[in-house]
Amino acid sequence: MKLVTLHPDLRLGIQTDAGIIDVAAAGHSAAPTTIDALLADSDSGLAALRELAVSAPASALLAANGVSFGPCVPNPGKILCVGLNYARHAAESGAATPATPVLFSKFNNTIAGPGDSIPLPTSAEQYDYEVELVVVMGKRARDVSVEAALGTVFGYCTGNDVSARDLQMRTSQWLLGKTLDKFMPIGPYLVTADEVGDPQALDLKCWLNGELCQNSNTSDMIFSVAEIISYTSRYMTLEAGDIISTGTPSGVILGMNPKVWMKPGDEVTVEVEKLGKMSNKLTR
C-alpha cells in the first residue's frame, strides 16, 4: 500500500490506481486518519486501511490534480542516519570503508515534503544532495537479530539527506551540516514493507537540474537494512515512527572535481525504485 499525507492538514491518504483515497472522508470508524495514529498501532490500522482501499466510496476519492503531498512521515521520532554506507561513496569522500555502521542523526526541523522549497542560508556555501532509502520503523526493536530485523519495519520511502559540507566538516561531529531547516525531504509515498519486498534490490537515483548525478542500487550497501537495525538496536531501543536513512551512493558533489555546489534556483530530484520520485526547489 502507498500512503501519503495531504495538505493542508497532513491527513492520511492512500494512493490507489483509481485515485487518492481521503481516509477521513471515507468514514471507516476503525481506520487511522493520520500517519502518527497508524504507526502507533500499525497492525490493526493497516487491516482497516486495506479494507478501505477496496471499499472506499467514490466520494472519498480525490483527483490527482489539486492534491499536494506533505512529508510522508510528518512527525518521526528518532531520525537516524548512516554515513559512508556505499563503498564508492566512502572512497569519493576520502574516507576508509567503515568496519561498523557510522551513525549520526538529524532533528525534526529537517522534515520537508515533496515540492517544498528548501532554503539555503548564506551562513554556509557547500550545499550537496544525497539520495537515500529511508526505513520507517513499525515495531519496537531492542536487541533484535539480523534475521528478525526486517519484521520490525513498517515501510520505506525516498529521502534526500541534504548536507552543508562546510558545516559538516567544520568539526569532527557532522550534525551541524546535516540538520538545517528542511534538510530531510521525505516522500512522496510511504510504501508498506510487503509491497517493497527486498530492500536490498532497489535502484536509487538523483538529478540536479535534470542531470542524472547519482545512479546506484541498494544492493551496493556495505551494511544492509537488517544489519543496520540489528546493530543499532543493541545500543538503543528503536520505536515505531523512528526513521533510519541508510546512506547515499557515489555521485555527490563532494566527490567531484571541480565542485559546483547547489545554489538557490536549483532543483534537486531523488527517486528510489517502488517508492516514488520527489523534487525540491532550493531557495535563499
Residues 6+ apart with CB under 8 A from 132: 81, 158, 159, 160, 161, 204, 245, 246, 247, 248, 270, 272
The nearest distance, CB 245 to Zn ion, in angstroms, is: 6
Copy the grid coordinates of residue 236. 538503543
> Which residue is closest to Zn ion by CB?
161
Nearer to Zn ion, 230 or 245 (CB): 245
Shorter beta-carbon distance to Zn ion: residue 233 or 248:
248
Q: Which of residues 3 and 184 has its CB atom nearest to Zn ion in the complex?
A: 184
In the complex, what is the shortest distance from the CB of residue 71 to Zn ion, in angstroms, rounded to a whole number?
A: 17
User: With 0-12 CB in 10 A as exposed, 13-18 as middle and 19+ as buried, what is 77?
Assistant: middle
Q: How far is the CB of 224 from Zn ion (least distance, A)?
A: 16
Nearer to Zn ion, 130 or 271 (CB): 130
Per CB under 5 A, 130 contacts Zn ion:
yes
Identify the CA nearest to 154 among candidates 169, 135, 171, 170: 135
Residue of the chain from 116, 161, 242, 266 that contacts Zn ion (CB under 5 A): 161
Please state the closest distance from residue 159 (CB atom) to Zn ion, in A. 9
Q: How far is the CB of 25 from Zn ion (least distance, A)?
A: 37
From first CA to last CA, the distance across the chain in angstroms is 36
Q: Is 246 in the site for Zn ion (CB under 5 A)?
A: no
CA angle 53-58-64, nearest 5°?
Answer: 80
Taking the complex as a whole, the smallest distance from the CB of residue 259 to Zn ion amounts, in Å, to 17
Verify binding: residue 248, Zn ion, rule CB under 5 A. yes
Nearer to Zn ion, 46 or 84 (CB): 84
Q: Report if residue 92 touches Zn ion, rule: CB under 5 A.
A: no
Site string for Zn ion, 203-242 (x = CB under 5 A): ----------------------------------------
